[in-house]
Amino acid sequence: MSMMEYLAYAAFGLYLFLIVAGGLAAVLSKNLIRSLVGLIMTLFGVAGMYFLMSAPFIALMQILIYVGAVSVLIFFAIMLTRAPGGESGIEGSTPKALKRGLLALATALMPAVILGAIIIRKTPETLPLKPETALTVLGEFLTGPFALSFELISVVLFVAMAGAVLLGFERRKSE
């Protein structure tokens, strides 16, 4: 193995750690903001994975959109809806919580184990692809074979926005 390959494995390990640790932090933390930080960690890890899979555009979009915009909006929503620094007093580590944790762990591991075993036993064929897909190719895909989906996304976004306005917006009562 060459130096670069070792580095790639090291990077893979790092990103994996970020994803798993971030996920655990997001789930286990009792504080919403810390959960959010865990989520951001996970998103970074996923972005790193995209880099590793030589999809830098997707990786950067992941950072730009999810980390730079979506998490910030979540942060804003948390700040607007609850008192700062407020800890929500939920159950501690009672035996019941332990049992629940074990069940959750089993549920989380089951698909991972089954799918992992299948993937290892029967690895799907990989397609030979260029190291980096040019942006123009991506664009042609979006306006060619996936043009319909591309257009439908705009309808979905319209529905989401109009729905948010409908539910969240209080019309000023005209006297």
Partner 1 sequence: MMSQLLSYLSLPLVHLILSLVVILAFLGVNGIVLIYVERKVAGFIQRRPGPYEVGPWGLLQPLADALKLLSKQLVTPMGADKILFWAAPILSFAPVVICFMPMPVSPMFTGMEMNLGLILILAFTSLNVLALCLAGWSSNNKYSLLGAARAVSQSVAYEIPLLITVLAIAFQTGSLNLSEIVASQTKGIWSWNIFVQPIAFIIYIIAVTAETNRAPFDLPEAESELTAGFHTEYAGMHFGLFFLAEYSYMIVVCAVATVLFLGGWHGPFLSGPFWFILKTYALILVLMWFRWTFPRVRFDQLLNICWKWLIPLSLINLVLTALLVKIVR
Partner 2 sequence: MIQQISQLLPELWQIAVVLVLFLETIGKPANDAAKPKWLPLAAAAGIFVAVFSLKADGLLFFKAYQVDSLSQFFKLAVLVGFFIVVLNADPLPTVESEKRSDYFLFLALSALGLMFLASTVELIAVYMALEISSYSLYALIPLRGKDQRAAEAGIKYVLFGAAATAVSLYGLSYILATQHSTYLEVLAAADWTWTHSPLAVIGLTLFLAGFFYKLALFPFHFWCPDVYDGTGNETAAYVATLPKLGAVVIMIRLVAMLKPENGIITIIAVLGACSMTFGNLSALIQKDLKRMLGFSSVSHAGYIMVGLSAVSAKGLAAAGYYSLVYVLMNLACFWVICRLATDGRNITLDDLNGLYKRAPGLAFIMAVGAFALVGLPPTAGFMGKFFLLTSAWNRGHDWLVIIACLNTAISIYYYLNIVRHAYTAEAEEPLPAPKPGSALWGGVLATLLLILGAFPGPVFHYAEVAGKLLIP
* Residues binding partner 2 (CB under 8 A): 115, 118-119, 122, 124, 127, 144-149, 152-153, 155-156, 159-160, 162-164, 166-167, 171-174
Residue 165 beta carbon to partner 1: minimum distance, rounded to whole angstroms:
15
Taking Cα atoms as reference points, which of 16, 66, 69, 13 lies closest to residue 39?
Answer: 66
Composition of the chain by helix, strand, coil, percent to 5: 75, 0, 25
139 is an interface residue for partner 1 by CB under 8 A: no
Q: Which one, of 13, 59, 19, 17, lies nearest residue 38 by Cα?
A: 19
Query: 118 touches which of partner 2, partner 1, none (CB within 5 to 8 A by kind)?
Result: partner 2
CA angle 147, 153, 158 (to 5 degrees): 135
Contact 40, 25 (CB under 8 A): no
What does the block give as tokens for 62? 């992941």
Give the interface size with partner 1 as a residue count (CB under 8 A): 29
CB of 146 to partner 1, least distance (A): 20
Comparison of 4 and 166: residue with beta carbon closer to partner 2: 166
Q: Indicate which of partner 2, partner 1, none lies near residue 163 (CB less than 5 to 8 Å, by partner kind).
A: partner 2
Q: Which two tokens stand for residue 143?
A: 């306006």
Q: Is 31 in the site for partner 1 (CB under 8 A)?
A: yes
Write each residue from 81 to 100 as x if it is in contact with partner 1 (CB under 8 A), else as -, in one continuous string. Answer: ---xx---------------
